[in-house]
Amino acid sequence: MNVDNVKSQMRKGMLEYCILLLLHQEASYASDIIQKLKEARLIVVEGTLYPLLTRLKNDGLLSYEWVESTQGPPRKYYRLTELGERILSELETAWDELSDTVNHLRQKFLTVL
């Protein structure tokens, strides 16, 4: 088993949820999203983020608007749509259930390594 591959797959599985969480409070542009994910130790590169943002937009979960910048070209700010907010709420419930299950199994079966 390739542990790094498993860890990578776990991170990829959580990435959409984490992006929706970040955009719940405020609209953000891609570089800001990447920075916040890095601060949370969920390292993402632009080549991963942009296709995901496009897919979430195409699925109706995100919208965007262009905002003029004093430091260069206009920036595309992403925000959750009403559907995105509903999906985030459903994912919150799913995360709580999954987290409870994993923590239960860890407490019951994980021995000190």
Using 50, 70 and 90 to split pLDDT, how confident is the model at 9? confident
Using 50, 70 and 90 to split pLDDT, how confident is the model at 14? very high
User: Domain boundaries in the chain?
Assistant: 3-109
Q: Is pLDDT at 43 greater than 80 in this prediction?
A: no
The closest of 34, 4, 7 to 19, measured between CA atoms, is 34
- The pLDDT tens digits for 54-103 are 999 999 999 999 999 888 899 999 999 999 999 999 999 999 999 999 99
Using 50, 70 and 90 to split pLDDT, how confident is the model at 113? low
Q: What is the pLDDT of residue 46?
A: 85
Question: Average pLDDT of the chain?
Answer: 92
More confident residue, 8 or 34: 34
Q: Is pLDDT at 26 greater than 60 in this prediction?
A: yes
What pTM did the predictor assign? Answer: 0.87
- Fold exhibited by the domain 3-109: Arc Repressor Mutant, subunit A (1.10.10)
